Structure 1
Amino acid sequence: MEKMRKSGSVLLLAFALVLASLASASSSSCSEDSALEKDRVQTNLLGQDFNVEFAHYSGYVTIDEEAGRALFYWFFEAAEDPASKPLALWLTGGPGCSAIAYGMAEEVGPFHVKPDGKSLYLNPYSWNQVANMLFLEAPAGTGFSYSNNTNDVLSNGDERTAKDSLKFLQNWFKRFPQYKGRDFYITGESYGGHFIPQLAQVIVRSQKVTGDKSINLKGYLVGNPATDDFLDNVGSFQYMWTAGLISDETYNLLNVFCDFESFLRPSEQCNEILEVASSELGNIDSYSIFTPTCPGSTNFPRNKLLKRLHSVAKMGEKFDPCTDRYAAVYFNLPEVQNALHVNPVVAPSKWETCSDAVKDNWRDSSRSILPIYRELIEHGLRIWVFSGDADSVIPVPSTRYVIDALKLPTVTPWHPWYDDGQVGGRTQVYEGLTYVTVRGAGHEVPLLRPKQALILFRSYLAASPMPTLSEVEDS
């Protein structure tokens, strides 16, 4: 009888543990559902006089409880059948520039800001036509992302940004568990040429240690990327010279006096010739050399070349060089911040498209990302790189030098690709990497050439070559 009582007690204890486990799981699920619903943008935004069928969410994801560090995101489900579409993350460069101001509100997001700074229009070439799009403001101090420890904003760098972005994704997938295991891609531009491969690397390495495949990383797509300090600089000066932006004498002196290997500490002679180069450039938009500048702007300070801390450009299909100014007005409006669940307690007193505090206090910047490319190509990720051919900051020659340094065998030689019977750019396919140029685009390719950028993104997701003339004629 005693044995039966003990056996019964054991069974009751086991049953109680199972019930407690189920209750805990249910509580966790309810908590996640509650957080998800809390992040849903419930009503039309200020100045949104159109309705959309897709859901979108915005808010904070805490990545460091002790420091009180949290990153801000805005997520858009695909316009149609989101359950069948992949998930793509967009990262803007800077460092310290907002993915919401640029990637979302100017380039590939569905909502773009009108010149009045108080209303929106629907982007017909939004990338959420073909993917679920997640925009992340990273690192802390960028956009609405914050830390309760002010030293965090003054000590950002490549390494911590990659780790924080990984932690963000891990926590974001807990809030959006339906996307666990979904095909996942990382996209972006400019100093994203550091952020994107570095994040891909920490994801791959983390999975090797933990075996967790919740983040089903398939590859990355990066435009006009800062990749290798030396090669980026060599290509930039070469492009400026061949485009007629600087004189023969200045170009030759730059090559004599500027030690590209130690550009963070340029000599006095290098600084002097950089000043001459800046004067010869004039007030042009060096990120898009054939388009007008926004009145009152100076777009090519010499420290852009020295530090390789590239802010993004200002371009548009019906060209407007002042688009980031409209975003700065719109996202400072209290009604907009309230609708996007921005916490007024931690919100910046003035929201900025790019943070000088982040940029000027950057602690570590890898001098070359090429070793990461080699590692990830070996891992089998789908890697595409693209360039607007009117950008002089990270121009086509810079990126071609970078790709040449990888010494990849060619699969498909250099050739034009087409859109509506017109050359859209050029492309070359290598073993492990595809390179695409976009004709007439600057540093922010989707802003000046949104249709062609969407064609590029579709081709990338489908792992199919860029369209040829015969394909265009047949269609």
Structure 2
Amino acid sequence: MALIWKIMSVLNIVLVVLLSKKITVVATHSQWSNEKKYNVQTSEDLVTDLPGQPNVEFQHYAGYVTVNEKNGRALFYWFYEAWTLPHEKPLVLWLNGGPGCSSVGYGATQEIGPFLVSTDGKGLRLNPYSWNREANMLFLESPVGVGFSYSNTTSDYDNLGDDLTANDAYVFLHNWFLKFPSYRNRTFYIAGESYAGKYVPELAGLIQDKNKDPSMFINLKGILLGNPETNDAEDWKGMIDYAWSHAVVSDETHKTIRESCDFNSNNIWSNDDCSQGVDEVLRQYKEIDMYSLYTSVCIPNSAYTENKGMQYVFKKSSSMMMPRIMGGYDPCLDDYAKSYYNILEVQKALHVGDGHQLKNWSICNVDIFDGWAQTKASVIPIYKKLIAAKLRIWVYSGDTDGRVPVLSTRYSLSSLGLPIIRAWRPWYHQKQVAGWLQEYRGLSFATFRGAGHAVPIFKPSESLAFFASFLLGESPSSQR
């Protein structure tokens, strides 16, 4: 009898420990949503019959994650496990900007994903320089209204802005970890380009703040930013100086803008000389691809009837919003993506449709820009916070981009006043100069020689090598 009581006592202790652990886990995620709802089999999101997909050995997943149950807000993601050893490699979240442009349409299938959309818009081809060769890659269409992401509450689309985007992305991550629990404590990085130059630091700053609660911990180690919008005033100044220094506008136009425009002012467009000067810059940029000064534009024809490759969305307001231009290099890549993602079988394979009713997918949603309610004029204060937290911060610029040119980024980073620890020098890839590099205390900055706005499209091999260096925390090669 004594032996039985001892056995029962031990079993009771084990049961109490197990229950307490279970309660702790449930409590950890209780503020996000009911865990049972997200306790789904990952296989439900496994992509298996994607039209035109090349054969690969790694798995990939796509689907929705709800970020606000009351309003019915849900964000679409596409996740690619690393090409090899996914359990050993870090997790990287990639964000495109706009605001309103798709990370699936750009990042995943034009730049750094394993599958690139073919030129007939009906299939995919393998990308030998995919970043999932070095990491597990997670692409997010954010905020709602972008790509396949949506809200059932109409008013949500009237309240979009930087803060809502960061908060929804943060909730997305925690709920995504419920789907993929093995990645919860994985080394994590955030990367992105263009207007994601604001998204990425804002999300990183939010994670840093929330990590003060151990139950909400995300193992963020650093951020990587390409041609990023950073500080509106410096971005404008850099864009104007770059246009002039690359012979896009005349000396007279440049002089007028420099003398009449105060880009730090909230009333900048009340100055007629300034406004007319900037209009002239944008008028000249309509003749070429602002994202890539030295490549061709997509000429309208039967395969490209809408000519959205050079659509300007320009809004002069006190919010200091930059002009948005939809386009990029092939120069018709955007159209191929639009064709592919509007195929019923593709949407069914990605778990966004039933194969019967087509959802209208666009690579950029211009309406989001029109309704963008809130933006930060500068994320430099967030940079300072992240540098103080000793996160790894690398910034890079394609040097033929006129949209967020290398000058804009250099002006913005200069305002940080960081000590230089390794001076300006070339970095090399396959014995050629890939660009130039300068390392500051707390931040590294590199250029890509001959690359436009979306650097990996122009320099895929160099970009993959640079990404690998970033993950290792090792400087790109400084020798041929």
The normalised TM-score by structure 1 is 0.89
- Residue 344 of structure 1, CA deviation: 5.5
Q: In 2, distance between residues paired with 1:15 and 1:422?
A: 62
d(CA) in 1 for partners of 2:315, 2:448: 23
**Which residue identity lines up with residue 387 of structure 1 in the other structure?**
S
Q: State whether residues 181 and 213 of structure 1, in contact with CA within 8 Å, keep that contact through their aligned partners in structure 2.
A: no
Correspondence 1:357 to 2:367: yes
Are the structure 2 counterparts of residues 407 and 26 from structure 1 closer, same or farther at C-alpha, using a change threshold of 3 Å?
A: closer
Q: Distance in 1 between matches of 2:338 and 2:437?
A: 35
How far 1:351 sits from its partner (Å)?
0.8
Q: Report the counterpart of residue 184 of structure 1 in structure 2.
A: 188
Question: How far did 1:346 drift?
Answer: 13
Q: CA deviation at 1:303?
A: 1.9
On the 8 A contact 2:188/2:219 being kept in 1, the answer is: yes
Match of 1:387 in 2: 397
Q: 1:86 to 1:20 in 2, by over 3 A?
A: closer
Distance in 1 of aligned mates of 2:315 and 2:394:
25
User: Which residue is 2:328 aligned to?
Assistant: 314
Aligned to 1:39: 45
Distance 2:387 2:215 in 1: 21
Task: Give 3-state SS (helix, strand or coil) of 1:406's partner.
Answer: coil
Residue 374 of structure 1, aligned match among 384, 404, 410: 384
- Separation of aligned partners in 2, 1:404 and 1:95: 25
- Separation (CA, whole Å) in 1 of partners of 2:141 and 2:385: 26
Q: Which one of 414, 433, 445 corresponds to residue 435 of structure 1?
A: 445
Distance 2:431 2:12 in 1: 73
Cα deviation for residue 266 of structure 1 reads 1.2
One of 207, 210, 214 as aligned partner of 1:211 = 214
CA offset digits 1:141-196 (Å, max 9, x no partner): 11111110011122110011111100000110111010111110000100000000
Partner of 1:235: 238
Structure 1 residue 211, shift from structure 2 partner: 1.7
SS at match of 2:384: helix
Q: Secondary structure at the match of 2:426?
A: strand
- Give the total of aligned pairs: 455
Partner of 2:415, secondary structure, is helix
Name the structure 1 match of 2:407: 397
Deviation at 1:269, TM superposition (A): 3.4
State the alpha-carbon separation in 2 of the partners of residues 420 and 26 from structure 1. 49
Q: 1:349 deviation in Å?
A: 4.1
Q: Decide which moves more: 124-133 or 399-408.
A: 399-408
Partner of 1:94: 98
Residues in 2 aligned to 1:382 and 1:346: alpha-carbon distance in whole angstroms: 46
Q: C-alpha distance in 1, partners of 2:130/2:446?
A: 20
Structure 1 residue 301 and structure 2 residue 312: aligned?
yes
Q: Is contact 2:451–2:458 with CA below 8 Å preserved after alignment?
A: yes
Q: Percent identity?
A: 45
Q: Which runs of 5+ in 1 are unaligned?
A: 1-9
| Equivalent pair of 1:285/1:300 in contact (CA under 8 Å) | no
Measured on the aligned residues, the alpha-carbon RMSD in Å equals 2.8
Closer, same or farther in 2 for the Cα pair 1:170/1:231, shift >3 Å? same
Given candidates 145, 162, 165, the residue that maps to 1:161 is 165
| 8 Å CA contact retained: 2:286, 2:310 | no
Deviation of 1:309 after TM superposition, in Å, equals 5.5
1:256 aligns with 2:259: yes
Q: 1:250 to 1:81 in 2, by over 3 A?
A: same
1:67 is aligned to 2:71: yes
- Residue 203 of structure 2 is matched in structure 1 by 199
Retained in 2: the 8 A contact 1:94–1:309? Answer: no
Shift of 1:33: 5.8
TM-score (normalizing by structure 2): 0.88
Contact 2:236 2:263 survives alignment (8 Å) = yes
Give the C-alpha shift of residue 356 in structure 1.
1.4
Whether the 8 Å CA contact 1:388–1:442 is kept in 2: the answer is: yes
Look up the match of 2:250. 247
Alignment correspondent of 2:86: 82
- Which residue type is aligned with residue 248 of structure 2? L
Tell me by how many angstroms 1:314 deviates: 1.1
Instruction: Evaluate the alpha carbon distance shift between residue 446 and residue 256 of structure 1 in structure 2; reply closer, same or farther with a 3 A threshold.
Output: same
**SS at the partner of 1:301?**
strand
Cα drift, residue 14 of structure 1: 9.2
Q: Which residue of 2 aligns with 1:221?
A: 224
Contact 2:38 2:175 in 1 (8 A): no
Equivalent residue runs for 1:117-196 within 5 Å: 117-196=121-200
Q: Residues of 2 paired with 1:426 and 1:198: CA distance?
A: 27
* Equivalent pair of 1:220/1:383 in contact (CA under 8 Å): yes
Structure 1 pair 153/11, CA: closer, same or farther in 2 (3 Å)?
Answer: same
1:52 alignment partner, SS class:
coil
